[in-house]
């Protein structure tokens, strides 16, 4: 095995240093090995971006121009070109100084992504109604990793951050700020009336940043019906009516007892699937809280023989921020996805019932329409409880497993007895 693979340091930590100041003795501290982002993690976002780039290219080339002439796209293009040149300079610098393979792989991946970012960024700006979410995610991860490493390197004082690395971080930050901006004000006429969900970035939807525009407008004038945001096109009443009618008309005959429920599940299937990733991710972060508590207890009770107590405390602060900020974001996205399920369920059922009542020839059945509101609300609550039930079962199983790891499998015997009764 090569020497660079057996060296007692974390490879990714010195990526921002000058090559002449990278020392194998650097980061012999166990905490930095836990806190730092490994070079593998640094390459994964770039690899995902390169893998998805051809699909984005094929998707964008079929779309029409959706924005009016503006200078924002030119600014994005120029910054992306500057970033590509900086990545090229970093790659040449690593090759000329004979750096270790991990640094070369990271620089080569960044340069490969930098070659296609200008075209994809400019195409997405002109041919898409929303910001470039894939590029924004890669930039956020890259900038966060770089800023964390800058803090650690300057705190330890092991090396000086290269000017090239600083310029690259600045270029990424400027490009990210440009990419996160909404394009609602520069959209052409057919796309100006789209909903916020269709025009805002994932960052804006996760932190509800789009609400600020409504708050600013409501501060100076009264809202009218026309000022309220539109629903997404896939939640339109007409589309839901046709979709529910389709699943109801293809039902097997003779009808089964719960045929309406089966048709509703088919109609809301993909909306329910959208809820699952957010609930699972939030569940994982919730189970990180006991891990955080155990780490805090160990931090308080364990002495500090190597003099790195402040760094360990900084790592715990980052972990706490990651858990609770992640929970806030994921719960917001989960609630939004669940509200979409509620809207689809109500729109589908109401449309189908009204359609059946209009074509029905029996006037005595029209009195049942008065119960539509209560019945539909019961179905909506049932759809919400469905996600609560399956997530609770998984949460219960994971909780029992974690309990058995701490106290042994005998600890779950009382739980089994209670459940069996």
pLDDT digit string, tens, across residues 86-99: 999 988 888 887 77
Report how far residue 276's alpha carbon sits from residue 387's, in angstroms, rounded to the nearest whole number: 8
Q: Is the pLDDT of residue 9 over 80?
A: no
The confidence band for 360, taking pLDDT boundaries of 50, 70 and 90, is low
pLDDT at 273: 94
Measured CA distances, 60 to 57, 77, 79, 205, 254 (Å): 5, 16, 21, 22, 46
Range in 12-16, 24-28, 153-157, 299-303 the model is least confident about: 24-28
Q: Is the pLDDT of residue 157 over 70?
A: no
Roughly how many angstroms between the first and final C-alpha of the chain, as a whole number? 58
The confidence band for 36, taking pLDDT boundaries of 50, 70 and 90, is very low
Contact (Cβ atoms closer than 8 angstroms) between residue 56 and residue 131:
no
Q: What is the pLDDT of residues 123-156, one digit of tens each?
A: 999 999 999 999 999 999 889 888 887 777 777 6
Range in 199-208, 215-224, 260-269 the model is least confident about: 215-224
Contact (Cβ atoms closer than 8 angstroms) between residue 94 and residue 190:
no
Range in 194-208, 250-264, 352-366 the model is least confident about: 352-366
User: What does the radius of gyration of the chain's CA atoms come to, in whole angstroms?
Assistant: 27
Q: Is the pLDDT of residue 13 over 60?
A: no
User: Higher pLDDT residue, 178 or 3?
Assistant: 178
């Amino acid at each position: 095995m090569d020497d660079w693979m057996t060296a007692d340091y974390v490879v990714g930590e010195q990526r921002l240093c000058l090559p002449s100041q990278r020392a194998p003795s650097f980061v012999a501290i166990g905490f930095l090995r836990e806190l730092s982002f490994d070079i593998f993690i640094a390459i994964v976002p770039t690899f995902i971006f390169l893998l998805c780039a051809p699909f984005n290219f094929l998707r964008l080339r079929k779309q029409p121009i959706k924005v009016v002439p503006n200078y924002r796209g030119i600014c994005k293009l120029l910054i992306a070109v500057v970033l590509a040149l900086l990545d090229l300079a970093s790659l040449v610098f690593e090759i000329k100084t004979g750096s270790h393979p991990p640094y070369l792989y990271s620089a080569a991946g960044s340069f490969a992504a930098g070659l296609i970012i200008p075209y994809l960024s400019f195409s997405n700006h002109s041919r898409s109604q929303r910001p470039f979410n894939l590029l924004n995610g890669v930039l956020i991860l890259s900038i966060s990793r770089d800023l964390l490493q800058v803090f650690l390197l300057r705190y330890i004082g092991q090396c000086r951050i290269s000017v090239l690395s600083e310029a690259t971080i600045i270029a990424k930050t400027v490009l990210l700020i440009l990419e996160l901006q909404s394009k609602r004000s520069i959209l052409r006429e057919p796309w100006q009336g789209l909903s916020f969900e269709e025009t805002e970035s994932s960052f804006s939807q996760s932190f509800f940043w789009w609400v600020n525009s409504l708050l600013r407008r409501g501060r100076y004038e009264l809202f009218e019906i026309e000022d309220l945001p539109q629903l997404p096109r896939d939640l339109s009443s007409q589309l839901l009516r046709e979709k529910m009618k389709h699943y109801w008309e293809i039902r097997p005959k003779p009808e089964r007892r719960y045929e309406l429920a089966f048709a509703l599940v088919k109609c809301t299937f993909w909306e329910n699937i959208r809820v699952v990733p957010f609930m699972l991710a939030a569940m994982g972060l919730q189970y990180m809280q006991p891990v955080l508590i155990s780490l805090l207890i160990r931090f308080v009770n364990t002495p500090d023989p190597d003099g790195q107590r402040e760094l360990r405390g900084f790592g715990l602060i980052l972990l706490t921020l990651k858990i609770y900020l992640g929970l806030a974001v994921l719960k917001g996205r989960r609630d939004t996805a669940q509200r979409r399920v509620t809207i689809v369920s109500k729109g589908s059922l109401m449309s189908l019932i009204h359609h059946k009542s209009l074509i029905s020839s029996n006037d005595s059945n029209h009195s049942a329409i008065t119960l539509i509101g209560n019945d539909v609300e019961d179905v909506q609550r049932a759809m919400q409880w469905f996600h609560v039930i399956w997530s609770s079962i998984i949460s219960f199983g994971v909780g029992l497993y974690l309990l058995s790891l701490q106290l042994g499998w005998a600890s779950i015997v009382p739980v089994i007895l209670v459940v069996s009764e």
